[in-house]
A and B are shown apart, each in its own frame.
Chain A
Amino acid sequence: MSFWERFEGMDPRYMYVFLALALLIPVFRPVGMPIAIDHAFTQPMFDWIERELRPDSLLILDTAYSPGAAAELDPQLAAIFRHLMRRGHKVVLISQWELGARLGTTVVRRVADAVGAEYGVDWVSVGWREGGLPWMRSLQDDFWAGMGGVDIDGVPFERLPLMQRLRAFRPGQVDGIICFVTGSPGAPTYITWFPEIRLHLGATAVMVPGLTPQLVAGQTRSLLTGLRGAAEYEVLIGEPGRAVKLMDAQSLGHLIIMALIILSNIGYAIRTRQGAT
């Protein structure tokens, strides 16, 4: 058995070790390669928050994700929330996924403490409720009734000044939606039922091919793409954080996968040529 044949039949566990090393080493020894901003996917989100939104706008941030996607979407959420607070906007955090409510709140609370945003005045987390689409649509008629009148920790809305501004999930009261998605339910809820409110998305990398048609069609105005999108946003707001640090690991990970594919193809070419002769 030749080297190439053995290489092609390699136990996948060796590959996993190579990949683990490729992902780990840059975390401890980052190179700091420059990150370009995607003008179609990322830049519109920044421009919208920075220039288009009126001061003191109220935005709904939907953390429709589970812990699996947290590595990609938590940095996006943190960077966007930081930017929103810097521009003086207000945020109501909601979630279409039950685990997303707690995850999103943890991330936002950490950033809010760092930037001095006050709970109940600058941001509120209302959490998740059972009921799926009918529940989301009921918020269009009466937000307070749909949420049971309490936030994620059971605090009545009457005690949260920001909630006085949000009686119904409608244009005029809500100036925009930013949804962090990793599957279903996710973006289609807003595209179908809230088309009058401007929508922006943050998605895991694997979701991007499925959501790009919506971006091209204008149903969403921007689309942050996985960890890369988070890193770009951190660069845009001038505060490089965890996502920027992890981009080197992603670079090396992709390179390792490409190297493995090229080597396996060399082996395949040699084997087929030998077979032909």
Chain B
Amino acid sequence: MRREIPMVLATVAAIYTFVWQVSHHAWETRWLTHTDLWRTFMMQVAVLLGALNLSRLQISNIRRRREHWPYSVLCLVVLWSYMIFGMTAYGLFAGRGNRHPIYLWFHDGVMVPAESTMFSLLAFFIASAAFRAFKIRSREATVLMVFAFIVMLARVPVGQAMWARMPALGTWVMAWPTAAAMRGMAIGIFLGVFAATLRVFLGLERRYLGTS
């Protein structure tokens, strides 16, 4: 029964979601919105477990004085102080939610710059990856490199300055050969995901129940 009940639940939920996907009734959406909220609440409780897992790892780093252990102290301080802030009279429970000035400062002054910085690293990493990978080792690799150059030049004003038709050529590459390749791959992936989902639908997928 330990495995059967969750499997029946998963199959019923899969069938319900499928019906919701193709049908057209407001009550189905309402019901699914409610169940999704339950999922959200459960996830929030689970996040606490995650925080405990992370804390256990950091405390172990500190106790064993592993390399860079001061960062573990920082991680613990930030993790728990933000959580305590959010759940006390200074934060969300004060009734002002995400409009609290300190919350906004955390968002605008810490989260936004930190995420932007991580994303901007991509510009640097793509340079070193392209430097290493774009070698004319074969005819196919040469074609790949030529098209990469066309798109790179077409997307910036300097390409247009070199040749007035460059942006149009770049648009053609994106709209036809690239779109065709993307479609082919997307269909294969869609069918792969579809087949995997049907296993839950048929009650055949049991990996999410663990190995025991």
Contacts and interface: CB of A to CB of B under 8 A. Distances in A.
> Do any CB atoms of chain A lie under 8 A from CB atoms of chain B in the complex?
yes
Interface stretch (B45-53, B61-69, B128-136, B191-199): B128-136
A257 B155 CA distance: 14
Interface residues of A, number: 66
B212 interface: no
A12 B129 CA distance: 9
B98 A102 contact: yes
Contacts of A251: 156-159
A40 interface: yes
Contact of A209 (B36, B158, B182): B182
B149 A212 contact: no
B208 interface: no
B179 A16 contact: no
B127 to A, nearest CB: 5
A85 interface: no
Contacts of B158: 33, 251-252, 254-255
Nearest to A19: B127
Interface of B: 20, 26, 29-30, 32-33, 35-37, 40, 97-99, 104, 107-108, 111-116, 118-120, 122-124, 126-128, 130-132, 134-137, 145, 149, 152-153, 155-161, 164, 167, 171, 174-176, 178-179, 182-183, 186
10 contacts: A12-B131, A20-B124, A33-B158, A34-B157, A40-B175, A67-B112, A68-B120, A69-B119, A134-B33, A154-B99
9 closest Cβ pairs, A-B complex: A68-B119, A33-B157, A12-B128, A251-B158, A67-B115, A141-B26, A251-B156, A67-B112, A134-B32
